[in-house]
Amino acid sequence: MAKQPSKKRTDGISKDSGLVPRFIVQDWLFDIFRRSKPLDDLLSQSENNTDWQNLNSRDRAFARSLLMTVLRHKGEIDWVVGQFLKKPPQAKTRVNEILSLGVAQLLYMEVSDHAAIDTSVRLAKRSDKSRHLAKLVNAILRQVTRAEPKELTPPGGDNINVPDLWKRRWGKQYGEAVATKIAQACLEPAALDIIVKRDADSWATKLNGRVMGGEDNSPSYGIRKDHRGIVTELEGFSDGDWWVQDYSAHLPCTLFESAPGFGSLAEKNIADLCAAPGGKTAALLNKGAVVTAVDISEKRLSRLQENLKRLDFNASLVQSDVLTYTPSDLFDAVLLDAPCSATGTIRRHPDILYLKSEDLIFELRKLQRQMLEKAVTFLKPGGLLFYCTCSLEQEEGELQIDRFLKNNDTIERLPIEAKEIGGRADWLTKAGDVRLLPFFSPFKDDEWTGMDGFFISRLRLKQ
């Protein structure tokens, strides 16, 4: 389990001093970069953390903002610190984390120079391991405030925030220009995408958002809004009128009924594999499908059940490894959102760029292939198989499907057409799969640019 700051570690820090949220973020950064702990795990565990629970909503929001700012601008921050700190202190002092917090506040957040420097120095003084370096922290941050703009502008632009592994891979797969756009997208926080049960236009008015879809006869199914508050406090959440789901993740659910010869989803038996947290399950149920949701994790399946209960939806839930699961009846369609490197979610999870590796991609590629081969056995003749990943890596998308089709002559690709996705021909590969990139927009005028990177392939078991 990731290390959590205990109550004793913050005893004596005034709750209005601003130190507690910064102290927690300091620990989070240490856990991410020194212990390879995923951001999601840390945020989940924080709900059982006394220090976190004692923070008011404003301090929690500040802590999240500070953490995400450091993660998104890590390359720039490291470069700036390196201009003034020639010999990094030992990791155990956590001075690198403290300096990162200070520089992030000075350069990228609306925090006064005095507050950023003072709190950073006091953080250093809180620990026996860093107390002797408090003057160093103060000196470096003051140098940053006095520096000329050119001294704070690293070479390479936004690309410096992307580790070399991903710059190399994305440059090879998409070209340098696209790789740069992906790097720029890493810096932008994601908007809030909401999928509504019905009447998207009305909900767009109520929630001050904009309808996604509806252009060129594409389905109108949800809204996007700029929101930094508490989602559960928005109108309609407690009543189960909508759920949160990124535009990209919802798109596969709009491509069933337009598949040649498939027809309405109403009363169709659908398997949603690796289903948690349940956004796709909810979307299929909302269209009248009978859904069996399969997930290996009891905890994640419990969360899915809670989400469905709030939405007043019912599905058959199965806790099982997809590779050992055997359904009692065959399905009209299967949706496999396979485990992947998740590099397409970097706007929400910038820590992925530092925690995932090429070796992991190779391991996941094998698992995805096994899941594809297993999922085919769940289908009725003529049944649909949707394969999706929230990855930017072609080994987990285009190349995975090309290899799968080459080795399985009972499966055929049903190419997706531009008219099914609002006329966005640039979202399609030559073979007819969907390839979404983080800087794409669901709107024709490119307002609110951004969505999760995603891959979708629509296949069919031959009769």
**Active site members:** 390
Nearest to 282 by CA among 257, 305, 259, 258: 305
CA-to-CA distance for 413 and 83, rounded, in angstroms? 53
Cross-strand bridge partners of residue 417: none
Q: φ, ψ for residue 412 (rounded to 5)?
A: -130, 150
Peptide bond into 277 cis (omega under 30): yes
Task: Reduce the DSSP state of residue 318 to 3 states and report it.
Answer: strand
CA-to-CA distance for 168 and 162, rounded, in angstroms? 10
CA-to-CA distance for 259 and 230, rounded, in angstroms? 38
Please list, residue by residue across 381-398, b when 16 or more beta carbons sit within 10 angstroms of its beta carbon and e when fewer do.
eebbbbbbbbbbbbbbbb
104: tokens are 């992030």
CA-to-CA distance for 166 and 354, rounded, in angstroms? 10
CA-to-CA distance for 152 and 140, rounded, in angstroms? 13
